[in-house]
Chain A
């Protein structure tokens, strides 16, 4: 074995022993993905179901009742009250007893019979913006579907909207969240751990001893990356297994490709953690910088929850420089769409570039001196 490999292996083995002998690290590394996936999987849901709906049917015909039933049948809305007077709706909103109201005015059926535009009113509680927006969307869709069903044969509708959701037909949040969650888990735990590792050697004085040996900077860096890299892959596996078994997240593409993408991402982010550690030489400072500078981009600038396309150009630019969005994109592409290597190369290359830049900075800034 070449001296380079031998020293790198010695560093890696040492780091692995530090990691394995610190129960808190192992616990953090394995429990964090589980906690996050359970919290995000069960707690964070963009699915809107069982919206409490008040129905004010002033028309009181078979047709108006059928129209109201269409709303409750989809599962999106639960009819919780049927007041006679529209003015009763506001108190229901105020007490949070209802979040939406459907008001069918008198003459609704007559107007339809005459072929005129029949208008029903949908009221939503805007204090819960997300629910309101989605409920409105569902409401529109139900109304439109009914309208189309009523159109006489041979006539084309004035507006044709056919919404078909591909890859995640029921628009379940877990399917959408798990790929993003992998990114979050990797940056929270792995980057934090590598950000601590070099600073710890400076603080504990062992760097002084290390620098008095022939071990090179690149050997230290690669040796330190190795165990945390493996730990990161275990975390990916953990999230995938829980995602697939507990939340029925589809795995349409190659698992090997998922790990390839995650590996390139991990190398870049872990080396970024080392750069923080090398520059700060302080565990306390490194931990804080690592937490803020990786968590926020992974959460906000990754397309995980907030669509990048809706962001102002400067933020879009920043996100294009950071790896999280590329991994989120690649993972969704592989897992949900079953895409192959050729479609995710454009995601892998920027992540590999980030790794190369970080490795360059880490080796350049790593000085063999103690002050």
Chain B
């Protein structure tokens, strides 16, 4: 690899932006390299969308700077737009235009020559299997098909950096897998991809993730390294009376009161509990005496445990 390939495709330094009374983004540093798939993970309201908008120049930061391919996003010039492909979270194409018309419109805005447009359109249509729906209006597409169209429109001009805001939101599992296959293919070709997602399973598929909460990155690493560095203990609490929602709420309330419990989330008919390693013995003692309806079994920590633990710690 050349030195240029290691240079960041997307870079943020000390980005801050206040929206109303909240610090939507409160000092964000991140780097995405060419050929890297970076996931910005966080619950709703964590500031992911604001962060992405700052990174593509759709919001002006109160402080800090973002660069795409070395170009400041606030310059807003054609070089930036050429380098960047962006897919917003919400429906952002024109519902009354057909699939082909939407693509043609964005190709014209990016100034693609007709021959190049036809070639890329054919490639993307084949890749996304949208060709059957060429003449269908965008508003009549399924969630998955729509996202593929939006992705195609963002890719038409061959950007070097692709920024996607919750690309699989409202997409069925099959289309979701197809979208991910597509993303891997693009990243293999050297594209730098930054995506925001609230889904932990998706985050785990990224090369690197940044865990975002309350406008800040709580941690950043590869998913494997984050799980590896996880030092707490994860238990699954089975509730024999789980059919009664009141019983589960009561169990949750009681467990939350335990000082050694770091995070807690429902899983199946029970509760997944992250316990501080130092307090694990105490937790087991408490548990043995607690409730005849409860049963404890150990589970391997996963990425979601890491995230929940960090969020609980931060809040």
Contacts and interface: CB of A to CB of B under 8 A. Distances in A.
Interface of A: 3, 6-7, 9-10, 13-14, 17-18, 21-22, 204-206, 208-215, 368-371
Q: What are the 8 closest A-B residue pairs judged by CB atoms, nearest first?
A: A10-B108, A212-B86, A209-B92, A213-B109, A214-B81, A205-B92, A205-B90, A208-B88
A210 to B, nearest CB: 8
A55 B279 CA distance: 113
Interface string B1-37: 0000000000000000001000000000000000000
A146 B167 CA distance: 89
B93 A7 contact: no
B56 A9 contact: no
A14 B105 contact: yes
A13 B109 CA distance: 12
Interface stretch (B94-102, B140-148, B183-191, B211-219): B94-102
A22 B88 CA distance: 25
Given A7-B108, A209-B88, A18 B94 contact: yes
B91 A212 contact: no
29 contacts: A3-B111, A6-B111, A7-B109, A7-B111, A10-B108, A14-B101, A17-B96, A17-B97, A204-B91, A206-B92, A206-B94, A208-B53, A208-B88, A209-B87, A209-B88, A209-B93, A209-B150, A209-B153, A210-B109, A212-B56, A212-B81, A213-B109, A213-B110, A214-B78, A214-B111, A369-B57, A370-B59, A371-B19, A371-B53
A231 to B, nearest CB: 17
B294 interface: no
A370 B91 contact: no
Contacts of B59: 369-371
A16 to B, nearest CB: 11
Given A205-B90, A205-B92, A370-B59, A214 B82 contact: yes
B106 interface: yes
A208 B58 contact: yes
Nearest to B98: A17
Contact of B81 (A13, A22, A205, A213): A213
B53 A214 contact: no
A204 B94 CA distance: 9
Contacts of A212: 56, 58, 81, 84-86, 154
Contacts of B95: 204
Interface of B: 19, 53, 56-60, 76, 78, 81-82, 84-88, 90-97, 101, 104-106, 108-111, 150, 153-154
A206 B86 CA distance: 12
A291 B87 CA distance: 35
Most-contacted residue by chain A among B56, B96, B109 (CB, 10 A): B109
Given A213-B81, A368-B76, A369-B60, A208 B110 contact: no
Contacts of A215: 109
A371 B61 CA distance: 11
A6 B108 contact: yes
A341 B94 CA distance: 43
A215 B153 CA distance: 14
Nearest to B60: A369
A10 B111 CA distance: 10
A17 B102 CA distance: 11
Most chain B CB within a 10 A radius of its CB, from A7, A14, A210, A368:
A14
Contacts of B101: 14, 17
Contacts of B104: 10
A253 B154 CA distance: 53
B92 A208 contact: yes
A208 B86 CA distance: 9
A370 to B, nearest CB: 5
Contacts of A211: 58
A215 B93 CA distance: 15
B249 to A, nearest CB: 37
A22 B137 CA distance: 13
Contacts of A18: 94, 96
Nearest to B97: A17
B288 to A, nearest CB: 54
Contacts of A9: 108
Contacts of A206: 92-94
Contacts of A3: 111
Nearest to B53: A370
B58 A214 contact: no
A125 to B, nearest CB: 57
Nearest to A212: B86
A198 B57 CA distance: 20
A209 B108 contact: no
A21 B95 CA distance: 11
B110 A369 contact: no
A206 B30 CA distance: 27
Contacts of B78: 214
Contacts of B19: 371
Interface centre among B57, B111, B153 (most CB of A within 10 A): B111
Nearest to B165: A208
A215 B81 CA distance: 9
A3 B82 CA distance: 13
A214 B92 contact: no
Given A6-B111, A17-B96, A212-B154, 11 more contacts: A6-B108, A7-B108, A9-B108, A10-B108, A14-B105, A22-B96, A208-B92, A209-B86, A212-B56, A212-B85, A371-B53
A214 B109 contact: yes
